[in-house]
Amino acid sequence: MQKRHSQGLLTAVLAGLLLWSAVADADIRFNLKDKAPPEIKIRVGSGGNNTSTVSFTLDPGQLGNGTPIASSSGPIRIQLEIRSTAANPLACTLTVDSLSDPLKNTASSTTIPFSEISWTADEELIPSGIFQETMDQYIIDSQSLTNNPTFRVSDRLTFSYANSSMIEAGSYEGGVVYTWAAP
């Protein structure tokens, strides 16, 4: 009787092994396709809905002497991203609008031209320059940065005020808008 029990157990174990073997030999194919849509992103400063602020503090004795004044608020980070495929790469251009929101004295109508403001890039991935008071000043394009269809580049810009003329005392506020666009 004991022999029969052992044979039944052996048959069950062999049947299980055969079943497992059939599953192990099954043909499984994986096709992984990147279905995410192409995208571009820009981040200026801390990101989110925050507006980064650049501040300059001038002593009356420095005013208009031609010695540039570095921003007292530190560098601002700009990060550019592209996600696309080699078959359909995105060509993007970074521009800045320094005309639409001029530097205006908050107590009067006196303005300072944005062409008085320049920036120096830490890594020169985004080139250093001077605002030209246009709505679409070209800064750089994605082909100048890389030929890779997916990339991220980040640089820190330090701003300076040229201090080339006497200005009315007061606080001046204005803004620039960076645009990273694909046609």
pLDDT of residue 25: 52
Q: Which of these CATH numbers, 3.30.530, 2.60.40, 3.40.720, 1.10.3470, describes 39-181?
A: 2.60.40
* Centroid of chain to Cα 129: 18
What is the C-alpha separation between 173 and 101, in angstroms, rounded? 9
The rounded average pLDDT for each run of 10 residues, N- to C-terminus, in the chain (183 residues) is 49 45 54 68 80 87 91 92 86 93 92 95 95 96 85 93 91 92 85
pLDDT of residue 151: 86
Q: Where are the beta strands (DSSP E) in the chain?
A: 39-44, 69-70, 76-83, 93-105, 111-112, 117-121, 129-130, 137-141, 151-161, 172-181
**DSSP H or E segment with residue 68:** none
The residue type found at 94 is L
pLDDT of residue 117: 95
> Domain map of the chain by residue range?
39-181
pLDDT of residue 32: 54
